[in-house]
Structure 1
Amino acid sequence: MAAFTACQAGLPGLPARACRWATCRLSAIHVNLSNRRPANAATGYPCLRQATAVPTAMSQLTLSRRSTLTRLGTLALGSGLLLAGCSAEPKERKAFIAFLQSEALGKSRRMMPGLSDKMRKELGSYAAHYDIMIRFNQAVNDKNLLKNMRELQWIRTPAQYFEKRETLKLALAEIPQAQATVQAELKKADEAKAALNQPEDLKKAYDSIYERLVSAPARLLLEMMPPMQRLLNVVTELLTLVEKNPQQLSITGIHIEAKSQAMLDKVNALFKKADAETQALQRIEKELKEL
């Protein structure tokens, strides 16, 4: 402190510039010891060397506040974005319920409406819920599953069955494959549906449509295939009987004529079986058309 005081008084023999330098040096030492900032002797301002060397508690507090506010601002922005992202769900759900009730519910399973790009945008993530039903119906379309059987349904006479003997064999072979396809696709659809997270109001509407467009068609298709297979087996047995007994059986138009009562009884028994299976198929096909 003695040197500092002497310099301030203008010690003889010491140039003024050197005095100012010494003052700053001594001020720096003094501030480090006392944690105070003295003024420069020549200018009256705090020593710049010391001002940059020792940060104050106030500057640290300011930086701390600034960092905290920045973090809070980031969190607030993130929360705002999250809320904005979730806000579309009620509108999308309402649009999906309206679509199910006005469009899907009023259409048959063969006329299920597809989703346009505009509608997919309106439904958001719920479009994927509808796709489950679309994919099932495309996979189990009975026109593709039972293509050969559909070709046989236009036959009206025993003679036409002889002409379509190869198609008859193919139709019998495709029935087990069709059963396996329906079972696999139903399982896939049911598992996808079980994984959906739907609010109660949507679940009620969705379950009703799903029953009509997926569960009921699958059940009826699987119910239809056993009598279909039995009918084709009866037809095959009848054709084989006629082929093996050309002397006693002959085909005339829509009739099969028998020359003995025993052979007539065999033919009538086969026709009775065929009639029973045909009635079962007609009942199931009627229910399918009503879906």
Structure 2
Amino acid sequence: MNVFARPIAFVGVLLCLALSACGDQEPSQRKEFIEFLQTRILDKPGAHVPQLSGNQKDAFGPYVKDYAIITDFAAGPTGEPGNLQQRFGAIMAKGSIRSMSDLATRREDLAAVHNLVGELGSAIDQALAKADAAKAQLKQPDDLKAVFDKAYERDVTEVARNVKQMLPPVQDMTTAALRLADFITGNKDRLEVSGMMITAKDQKTLSALQPLLDDFNAKGQAAMALQQKFRSFQ
């Protein structure tokens, strides 16, 4: 029996050493991850979701999975390229109107923007619900949790709140733009369109046009004001 006792004891010593070595890495991995969250996210204005290098993944160890909650949210539920803010900016660019002529000639773009805004709202809801559920499952030491919670608030909660705040005004603007576009298309012979100017040839047409034009201008100004706020957050 003594013959077998020594190798078993020796294996036990090796196992203890291996576990001890793995345990010793956690404090340094946590420290590296905390420093990354602080310097690359919290110390910078706006929202930032930097991608990890291979060295950083090695340095953070198991905390790479914690950070993936943030990066997965930024990618959205279907993993589209670019973060939510970039996708919203692309939608706004697609629907930008530079002249009254654009309203009639780019109606399909405006309709697409209206639909994309609705889809983006649903995508944000799905991504946020998934991220919140994953975060609720984390078991983090107190020092990491304090910093991670702030980074999560900046890159997930605030991003969702800011982008979603923009969506209703943009949909209102596109709805007003589509109504005006349809009126211009249906009354080409009664209107003169040049640049941003539109002139009615008779009082009846003007009376029908004016409310549509006023609504479009008001909704456009509201959307532009929020867009300026959105840009300051980026």
- Shorter-chain TM range is 0.7 to 0.9
Identity %: 28
Alignment equivalent of 2:110, drawn from 161, 168, 179: 168
Match of 1:89 in 2: 26
Q: Deviation string for 1:234-271 (max 9, x for gaps)? A: 01111222233345433232111134555445434333
CA contact (8 A) 1:129 1:196 kept: yes
CA RMSD in angstroms comes to 2.5
Q: Give the Cα separation in 1 of the matches to 2:34 and 2:28.
A: 10
Stretches of structure 1 lacking an aligned partner (at least 5 in a row):
1-62
Alignment equivalent of 2:149, drawn from 197, 207, 210: 207
How many residues align structurally? Answer: 226
Change (3 A) 1:283 1:148: closer
The alignment status of 1:282 with 2:224, answered yes or no, reads: yes
- Summarize the alignment of residues 122-271 of structure 1 with structure 2, pairs less than 5 Å apart: 122-139=59-76, 140-144=83-87, 147-153=90-96, 155-261=97-203, 263-271=205-213
Give the deviation of 1:188 after TM superposition: 1.3
The letter of the residue matching 2:132 is D
Match of 1:11 in 2: none
CA contact (8 A) 1:227 1:281 kept: yes
Give the deviation of 1:91 after TM superposition: 0.6
The letter of the residue matching 1:133 is I
The letter of the residue matching 1:121 is D
Q: Give the Cα separation in 2 of the matches to 1:240 and 1:272.
A: 15
Change (3 A) 1:282 1:254: closer
Change (3 A) 1:148 1:94: closer
Q: Give the Cα separation in 2 of the matches to 1:281 and 1:141.
A: 18
CA contact (8 A) 2:41 2:151 kept: yes
Q: Give the Cα separation in 2 of the matches to 1:203 and 1:284.
A: 32
Stretches of structure 2 lacking an aligned partner (at least 5 in a row):
77-82
Higher relative contact order (CA 8 A, sep 6+): 2
Change (3 A) 1:100 1:146: closer
CA contact (8 A) 2:128 2:156 kept: yes
TM, length-normalised to structure 2: 0.83
The letter of the residue matching 1:151 is K
The structure with the larger Rg is 1
The alignment status of 1:119 with 2:62, answered yes or no, reads: no
The letter of the residue matching 1:161 is L
Give the deviation of 1:275 after TM superposition: 3.5
Q: Give the Cα separation in 2 of the matches to 1:204 and 1:134.
A: 19
Structure 1 runs of 4+ off > 6 angstroms?
none
Change (3 A) 1:74 1:182: same
